[in-house]
Copies of this chain bind each other. A is one copy, B any other.
Amino acid sequence: MGDGVVPGEFRGRMKRAIVLLSGGLDSAVTLYYAKNLGYKITCLSFDYSQRHQKEIKLAKRLAGLAGAAHIVLKVKFPARSSSLIDKKRRLPKRGLSKIKEAGIPSTYVPARNIIFLSYALCYAEVLSADSIFIGVNSVDYSGYPDCRPDFLKAFSRMSALGTRRGVTGRMVKIKTPLSRKSKGEIVKLGRRLKVPFKYTWSCYEGARYPCGACDSCRLRSRGFSEAGLDDPLSIKTDR
């Protein structure tokens, strides 16, 4: 079939799950969390003209290491929708940015998680997966509205009403194992689950080393330091 999708193949045999995998720290920990629960996993990654392709390559590697299937889907966001996409705009680097409208930083991509979760719902229906895992976090996060528990609850309710699985009572569950954890707790959980941190990428830029200054780098660094661990990415080897 080319896209690795065989409808219902594993129905009744092994629990199946879709994992949204960006290639970042949180989604990698979420993948290993789902793996640890014994799910047969299909990971979805999105190529949405983000500033670099590094995280998609790493997502592929992470999925492979976890023994999961991996599908990359292209999504076209409007060019000027976010500083994460529009390379002419500057990324905020002056500390965790709460500077924009209603505390939402310029790296916010409109409806991004809504679109990603909608695709996940579609694949969950076709693959008869009963769960979607997403590594959102509402403690140490960037202030995106589509990461908050209230939003995710409303998304679940909407999906129960708008899909075949919902109508037939076999609703797809949206699972957010990291939702209430601090970054330090996420790193500790990742260590316990043996997540290969060196293959995760958090920096909004795709240089050889993380910039260390963007919101995402700052959050990651906070996590490793709270957990008392060294981030393998911050150890610069000689060039």
Contact between B166 and A162 (Cβ–Cβ < 8 Å)? no
The answer, yes or no, to whether A138 is at the interface (CB within 8 Å) is no
Whole-angstrom distance between the Cβ of A1 and the nearest chain B Cβ? 5
Measured between alpha carbons, how far is A142 from B119 in the docked complex, in Å?
Answer: 22
A150 within 8 A of B: yes
Interface centre among A73, A113, A163 (most CB of B within 10 A): A163
| Chain B residues positioned under 8 Å from A77 (CB to CB) | 122
Cβ proximity bits A159-187 to B, threshold 8 Å, 1 near / 0 not: 11111101110000000000000000000
Q: Give the distance to chain B from A41, nearest Cβ to Cβ, in Å.
A: 16
Task: Let me know if B164 and A110 touch, CB within 8 A.
Answer: yes
Closest residue of B by beta carbon distance from A120: B111
A148 to chain B: which residues have CB within 8 Å?
161-162
Report yes or no: A145 in contact with B161, Cβ–Cβ below 8 A.
yes
For A121, the chain B residues whose CB sits under 8 A away are 110-111, 114
Q: Is the CB of A81 within 8 A of B125?
A: yes
Q: Which chain B residues lie closer than 8 Å to A118 at the CB level?
A: 111, 114-115, 118
A101 at interface (Cβ–Cβ under 8 A)? Answer: yes
